[in-house]
Amino acid sequence: MGDLGVLVPLAVALITVNGLPATSVFFGAGIAYLLAGFVYRLPIPVQPLKAVAAIAIAHGLSGSVVTAAGWWMGLLLLFFALTDAQRWLSRLFTRPVIRGIQLGLALLLVRSGLSLASRPQVVPGGEDRVIRLAAQVIPLGWIVAVAALLVLLWALRSRRWPASLAVLAFGGAAALTVGGAGRFLGEIHLGLALPAPVLPRPQDLLNALTLLVLPQIPLTLGNAVFATADTARAYFGPQARRVTPRTLLTTMGTSQLIAALFGGVPVCHGSGGITAHYRLGARTGTAPLLMGTLCLGLALFVDGNALPVLALIPYPVLGTLLAFVGVQHGLLARDLRGWPDIGVAVVTAVVGFATRNLAIGFGCGIILHQVLRLVRWARAKWTVLS
């Protein structure tokens, strides 16, 4: 359950703002989770493409345009996997740049977590819940977030209960009591709903390419491919032998096409999601298999309306998980040595955080790293000549 903090808020927004069918969204995610569990046998995450989701939500793009982006992404990623393009690309993503991507993502996760905890609504679709103290208005979510953090720290220390499940159990109780989610329970109806195949229109494909795919490609290569492979090796060592850039490109490309065929949201893996799973207790491929089963259940057996079920997971609880994962993910940069490498990582992270676009951040990091390499080469050459 580790990366629910990313999956749930984006899924809710894409369903409510962009009109994507809940059945299609969770069906695509469920298939991708199952594929990851069987292929990698490790807790490899599945998340909506962040740049695609953020741009689509901000501009209110139609669900058909979002789905069309999945066709592009699937074909491009499979092209990279089946050719030597990924070998050439790997030269750009050096360790300092990857550490900068991970650090920048950590900062963004912490900021997103704080933002979720500060929402006036405690649960998705719920009413504003605030506490008035004198002239101050305090979101009730802050109190729920602090309590969730205490539960999380207790679970991690005691090791009696899986940390994510302990926090989500607390979240369900908070949603039903102070969050007002009880009124959504009557909207949950069991019933079979199957996703229908969808083919994109030419105009949707064009809009998806220019608005969504071009900004997403660098972020996917940086975070979902090379940073994910590096993070898996850092946590699992030899067990991560299957988590290679080529395999990640293959499973993501396949998942994209399956999701797009049934009108779902494009999905990917991610280095932050691995940290989320690992730090909250997951160690094997059972985690994505269980998540895939849960997503398929939400897709197929709640009569096409998963939102009332998601209302049982409060925003502050998701925010707490996101912020905690962000802090843990940032610690991956501790192995950097030397000011040049640290400088490249810091510039990559700060630019990505300031612009809210990791693609811009690691673009600057790549340029700085290559400039520093050129300077070192020029100095060595000058020393030999002199």
What average pLDDT does the chain have? 87
pLDDT 10s digits, 322-336: 888 888 888 888 888
Whole-angstrom distance, CA of residue 123 vs CA of residue 128: 9
In a domain, 380, yes or no: no
**Degrees to nearest 5, angle at CA 117 with 112 and 123:** 110
pLDDT of residue 267: 92
237 has a pLDDT exceeding 90: yes
The total of structural domains in the chain comes to 1
In a domain, 382, yes or no: no
164 has a pLDDT exceeding 70: yes
Q: Are 35 and 202 in contact (CB under 8 A)?
A: no
Q: Of residues 251 and 57, which shows the higher confidence score?
A: 251
**Degrees to nearest 5, angle at CA 26 with 22 and 30:** 165
Q: What is the pTM of this model?
A: 0.83
Give the lowest-confidence range in 50-59, 151-160, 272-281, 319-328.
50-59
Q: Which domain holds residue 47?
A: 4-374
In a domain, 384, yes or no: no
pLDDT of residue 5: 75
pLDDT of residue 134: 67
Confidence of residue 260 (pLDDT cuts 50, 70, 90): very high
User: CA 343: distance to chain centroid?
Assistant: 26
Helices (runs of H) and strands (runs of E) counted in the chain: 18, 4
pLDDT of residue 161: 77
In a domain, 381, yes or no: no
In a domain, 291, yes or no: yes
Give the mean model confidence (pLDDT) for residues 310-321: 86
Q: Are 77 and 256 in contact (CB under 8 A)?
A: yes
Query: What's the chain's length in residues?
Result: 386
In a domain, 78, yes or no: yes
185 has a pLDDT exceeding 90: no
42 has a pLDDT exceeding 80: yes
In a domain, 192, yes or no: yes
43 has a pLDDT exceeding 90: yes
Give the mean model confidence (pLDDT) for residues 203-214: 88
C-alpha distances in Å from residue 19, one per residue of 12, 156, 285, 328: 10, 38, 32, 34
pLDDT 10s digits, 79-115: 999 987 777 877 777 888 888 888 888 888 888 888 8
In a domain, 336, yes or no: yes
